[in-house]
Structure 1
Amino acid sequence: MAKRASLDDKLAAVRLLRDQPTSPALVAELRKSIADRSNFLASAAAVIAGDRRLVELASDLESAYKRFLIDPLKNDKLCRAKIAIVQALDKMEHDRPETFQNAARHIQLEPVWEGLVDAAAPLRALALIALVRIDAPGLLTLLVDALNDPLQRVSKDDEERVVRSAAAQALGYQGSEAAGLLLRLKARVGDRDPDVISECLHGLLTISHQEHLGFVAGFLEPHDEARCEAAVLALGRSRLPEALGPLEACWRRASSPPLQEAILLAVAMLRTPEAVDHLLDFVAGENEPHSRMALSALKIHCHDARLTERIERVVAAKGNRELKEQFERDFRTDD
């Protein structure tokens, strides 16, 4: 009698499908694995289906998602299968909202050593972004709730911060006047995680930097370092040339080295000639801590050969041994 294949054997077989060309046989094997009761096997197959954009498997993925909603703490610990399925459907640009809408509301509190953790938070975050793509009915209502996730739940850690960040990102993508007002309100009310506020401010700049740049710049108050750094990061991510002025003004008021480092990194993130010139002036300047901070910020450009040569000339002209060692360490990358 033939020995039944173990889960490890089945997983190994599915992983081998990654390198196979798309064919009816491949689709059939993936369909079989997606229907398997193992969330490990179904998630592995879903990843391949999503990467290959095999839209003919979308209905199979939806059915599997519903199956893993049954006794989920037993059948889909950590939401492993449901997360892979939602990711796959989104990669396929699946336009039926039902699975995404369910996923955006799904809560799965799982026991851990010191309490409970919401394993479904990443699932909800993924679903929110997918729902923006298809502009699903009731989207703004869903995003309002997600901006305040969790609602009267107890979790060991603030796993839900990824949901609030995703909601802010989704509102920025949605781009309506109502979305902008919601982001402004959330930014004013605040959040226990500064990254969520940063995402709100970045969303406002995505909607309209002409309208919201002044509002975002209003958060650049160094006395509230966490709030200020959230705005600094949002401005850096925006890559707006107009963001350089507010960042320079904030620098002149900042005295905390961590905040100063964040400001210079945000300037580097702008990637404009003016921003680069600003940082090179710091590298060449007499304040050694600021020179090192600026050189560290410029590290994000280490793969730009032309700019690296320019930075090297500035460092060499300064003649500071420690700064030259820092340059060699950070910019001499292996090919």
Structure 2
Amino acid sequence: MAKSRKLADLQQLLDRVQATLPADAAVADLRRAIASKQAVAVARGAKLVAKHNLRQLAPALMAAFDPFLIDPIARDPNCLAKASIADALYRMDCREIELFLSGIRHFQLEPVFGGRQDTAPKLRSICALGLVRANYEDVFVELADLLADPEAPARTAAAQAIAYSENRERGVPLLRLRIRVGDTPTVLADCFTALLSLAPHDSLSLVAGHLDASEPEVREAAALVLGESRLPEAFELLRAWWERTFEPNLRSTALLAISMLRSKASVDFLLAFLAESAESELRGAAAALELLRPNAELWQQICTLLAARGLHPDTLSERHRR
């Protein structure tokens, strides 16, 4: 009861702080909340520090972090405080390597119905970015471990951090290994994206090879990443995939990915598709066409082509949703 009253008092204090920041008195009260050792209040306080870029409170955040590593399930369930502290320090470009190392190595298995669940992937993910930004010399040792993390969100974060590093020499081999070993479609998508950002031309064939993966979700992920890349060479890869794909949803994905390229070749292909394809095929192009709507001149061409066939883009979208 006393603990809940203390937390309620801290929440009221933080309400006042939030309304009056960055006044000096509010900053002093915020410092007191961060030192409270109440995880919920500390987490909220850390977010306010980051929002207002109160770098003078960075030492207070750092001092608050380590105590939550002791008996962490009781003191900081769901890693709320630790993740918020790490995120605030990262956002303020505080290069606290020791704190980020503690965070990226932290696992917190909390009891849930039927077993235990790790609540620290978000913390590990934030700390990965923090170590990259801090130019930690052994960051790729930590990222290699994170890329093999038991939790998919952490592996996704590892791929994103590798891309953020812009280190082709050390990042590409890790990403290629993760892709070759296999993973969930979501993790693979981030690995594809990271790989194409670091070594676009050398990685096209590896990513394109997954257009024929056994899992439809992986095929879709590879197609959309190729579209997002806007690499000119991706057009022929996607066009060829569209031609050899017969599943309607995947054909729609192929058209969407082609539209994402925004190249002359991709636009010419889509215009020819609109002019020549059966109406049943056109319905699958609804999402692809929506991407082109902001280009007024091109949109007029699309509307004219469809009008000649007694159709309108909005009608296609409605039919596609049915």
TM superposition score normalised by structure 2: 0.87
Q: Pick one of 308, 319, 325 that aligns with 2:315.
A: 325
Whole-angstrom CA distance in 1 between matches of 2:102 and 2:129 = 13
SS in 2 for 1:142: helix
Whole-angstrom CA distance in 2 between matches of 1:66 and 1:41 = 16
Match of 2:72 in 1: 72
Q: 1:9 to 1:313 in 2, by over 3 A?
A: farther
* 1:251 corresponds to 2:242: yes
Q: 1:309 to 1:35 in 2, by over 3 A?
A: farther
Whole-angstrom CA distance in 2 between matches of 1:16 and 1:302 = 46
* 1:177 corresponds to 2:169: yes
SS in 1 for 2:211: coil
Q: Deviations over 1:46-95 (max 9, x none)?
A: 11111222111111111111121121111111111111111111110111
Whole-angstrom CA distance in 2 between matches of 1:316 and 1:162 = 46
1:238 shift after superposition? 1.9
Q: Deviations over 1:235-271 (max 9, x none)?
A: 1232323322211111111112232232222223333
- What is the number of residues matched between the two proteins? 316
Match of 1:10 in 2: 10
* 1:188 corresponds to 2:186: no
Match of 1:142 in 2: 142
SS in 1 for 2:110: strand
For 1:325, the aligned partner's letter is T
8 Å CA contact 1:108–1:119 kept in 2: the answer is yes
SS in 1 for 2:117: strand
8 Å CA contact 1:198–1:231 kept in 2: the answer is yes
| RMSD over aligned Cα atoms | 2.6
Whole-angstrom CA distance in 1 between matches of 2:235 and 2:315 = 29
SS in 1 for 2:70: coil
Match of 2:87 in 1: 87
Q: 1:115 to 1:303 in 2, by over 3 A?
A: farther
Q: 1:12 to 1:189 in 2, by over 3 A?
A: same
1:224 shift after superposition? 4.6
For 1:99, the aligned partner's letter is L
Q: 1:122 to 1:329 in 2, by over 3 A?
A: farther
SS in 2 for 1:255: coil
Unaligned runs of 5+ in 2: none
TM superposition score normalised by structure 1: 0.84
Q: 1:207-286 maps to which residues of 2 (within 5 A)?
A: 207-221=198-212, 223-286=214-277
Moved over 6 A (4+): none
1:289 shift after superposition? 3.5
Q: 1:6 to 1:217 in 2, by over 3 A?
A: same
SS in 2 for 1:167: helix
Q: 1:167 to 1:291 in 2, by over 3 A?
A: same
Q: 1:71 to 1:236 in 2, by over 3 A?
A: same
For 2:22, the aligned partner's letter is T
Whole-angstrom CA distance in 1 between matches of 2:143 and 2:66 = 23
Q: 1:207 to 1:328 in 2, by over 3 A?
A: same
SS in 1 for 2:93: coil
Q: 1:286 to 1:210 in 2, by over 3 A?
A: closer
Q: Percent identity?
A: 38
Match of 2:103 in 1: 103
Whole-angstrom CA distance in 1 between matches of 2:163 and 2:302 = 35
Q: 1:23 to 1:311 in 2, by over 3 A?
A: farther
1:101 shift after superposition? 1.1
Match of 1:165 in 2: 156
Higher helix share: 2
SS in 1 for 2:206: helix
Higher mean Cα deviation, 136-145 or 223-232? 223-232
Whole-angstrom CA distance in 2 between matches of 1:227 and 1:96 = 37
8 Å CA contact 1:238–1:270 kept in 2: the answer is yes
Unaligned runs of 5+ in 1: 151-159, 331-335
Whole-angstrom CA distance in 1 between matches of 2:276 and 2:82 = 54
For 1:48, the aligned partner's letter is L
Q: Deviations over 1:136-184 (max 9, x none)?
A: 132111111111112xxxxxxxxx1011111112222322312111111
